[in-house]
Amino acid sequence: QVQLVESGGGLVQPGGSLRLSCAASGSNFRGYTMGWHRQLPGKQRDFVAQVTPSGSTNYADSVKGRFTISRDNAKNTVYLQMNSLKPEDTAVYYCRLTRNGSNYWGQGTQVTVSS
């Protein structure tokens, strides 16, 4: 059973930075594509960024140049470095692991950007 635990959310002022972490249980972490999504109440969950086993990354247009996804296979952890945060980045952020075509999700961590 895959378990994902996110951390690092919080309240930050516009223009500030946060780093989210997602620790995954189990083996073969390096073989999975990992991603981050975000969701507002009553809205769909939107793609933010992902990193493949080979290290290739892609981002939503809204976060390109501001967010960076990375992974540490030795720690079974994926990160999302978020810089130049805007109020519209406020959301619950979810970590995603894709294995054999199935997606697994963490419990989410709240990010609030406000002055």
Q: The tokens of 84 are what?
A: 């130049």
Q: What is the pLDDT of residue 87?
A: 97
Q: What is the pLDDT of residue 38?
A: 98
pLDDT > 90: what percent of the chain? 90
Length of the chain: 115
Cα-to-chain-centroid distance, residue 71: 11
Q: The tokens of 39 are what?
A: 């969701």
Structure confidence by residue, pLDDT tens digits, 38-53: 999 899 999 999 999 9
Structure confidence by residue, pLDDT tens digits, 59-82: 999 999 999 999 999 999 999 999
Structure confidence by residue, pLDDT tens digits, 76-114: 999 999 999 999 999 999 999 998 899 999 999 999 999
